[in-house]
């Protein structure tokens, strides 16, 4: 059994909105950027990005067989190994709900730092362990909410905000901002809770920057 693998996955629209919002907050002409979608699942984010940028490098363990866009390069890879992306080739790296599927988040950030150009950016999202519902799950069940038995073997690596701070610093990457999905749902009922901020956000994202040499 290969732990962490989730074939043809996708992220809810509120996570894609987080990612696009982060991208829109960077300087530079987005139409001239080469972006990466790491762990892109069935390719929904790449389809959104393709018309808005120069190129998309799409990497996933089980990439789609069909084309996503004329400017989308589709690559298959085990993200626990070296990624098939050239050094310093990416202006903006996206990775939505992927890092919780990998065995070694430090390797994941090392590869992110290697692939992003000096002066480039990255955005990683993951389940929010700091939400009220996640804290309740941990209090009563001793497990993070999105890492309960039903989530195994897909979700294997839970990360907190201080983990991301350490991972970024270890790899010479600068933290910029947290992003939150600004909605959650009641377990078992599916009722939507549209409350902004950390407490009722099912997912969180971190945006970061790779400094220019000497910056």
* pLDDT, tens digit, 9 for 90 and up, residues 21-30: 999 999 889 9
State the pLDDT at residue 83. Answer: 98
State the pLDDT at residue 6. Answer: 81
State the pLDDT at residue 67. Answer: 84
47: tokens are: 């389809």
Phi, psi of 53 (to 5 degrees): -140, 175
- What's the whole-number average pLDDT of the chain? 93
More confident position, 184 or 207 = 207
Q: What is the pTM of this model?
A: 0.95
185: tokens are: 């749902």
The β-bridge partners of 90 are 116
- Among candidate residues 109, 110, 68, the one with its CA nearest the CA of residue 57: 68
Residues listed for the chain: 215
State the pLDDT at residue 187. Answer: 76
State the pLDDT at residue 102. Answer: 97
CA dist 136 and 45 (Å) reads 31
Please state which CATH number belongs to domain 13-209: 3.40.50.150
State the pLDDT at residue 215. Answer: 65
CA dist 41 and 48 (Å) reads 13
45 CB burial (10 A radius; 0-12, 13-18, 19+): buried
Specify whether the CB–CB gap between 40 and 10 falls below 8 A. no
Angle at 179 between CA 174 and CA 183, to 5 degrees: 165
Q: Where are the alpha helices (DSSP H) in 25-176?
A: 44-49, 105-115, 132-141, 161-170
63-68: long-range contacts, CB 8 A cutoff, minimum separation 24:
64/8, 68/43
3-state secondary structure of 145: helix
50: tokens are: 């393709």
Inform me whether the pLDDT recorded for 52 exceeds 90. Answer: yes
State the pLDDT at residue 10. Answer: 82
Average pLDDT for 98-121: 98
Residue labelled with tokens 């074939």: 7
Specify whether the CB–CB gap between 67 and 44 falls below 8 A. no
Inform me whether the pLDDT recorded for 188 exceeds 90. Answer: no
Inform me whether the pLDDT recorded for 136 exceeds 70. Answer: yes
């Amino acid at each position: 059994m290969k732990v962490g693998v989730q074939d043809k996955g996708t992220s809810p629209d509120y996570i894609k909105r987080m990612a696009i919002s982060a991208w829109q907050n960077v300087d530079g002409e987005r139409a001239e950027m080469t972006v990466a979608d790491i762990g892109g699942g069935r390719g929904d984010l790449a389809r959104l990005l393709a018309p808005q940028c120069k190129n998309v490098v799409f990497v996933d363990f089980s990439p789609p067989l069909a084309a996503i866009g004329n400017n989308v390069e589709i690559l298959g890879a085990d993200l626990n190994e070296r990624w098939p992306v050239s050094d310093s080739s990416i202006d903006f790296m996206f990775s939505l709900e992927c890092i919780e599927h990998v065995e070694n988040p430090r390797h994941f950030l090392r590869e992110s730092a290697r692939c992003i150009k000096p002066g480039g950016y990255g955005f990683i999202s993951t389940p929010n362990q700091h939400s009220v519902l996640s804290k309740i799950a941990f209090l009563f069940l001793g497990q993070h909410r999105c890492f309960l038995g039903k989530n195994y073997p897909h979700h294997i690596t839970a990360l907190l905000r201080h983990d991301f701070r350490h991972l970024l610093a270890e790899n010479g990457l600068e933290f910029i901002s947290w992003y939150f999905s600004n909605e959650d749902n009641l377990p078992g009922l599916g009722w939507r809770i549209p409350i902004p901020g950390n407490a009722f956000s099912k997912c969180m994202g971190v945006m970061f920057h790779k400094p220019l040499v000497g910056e």
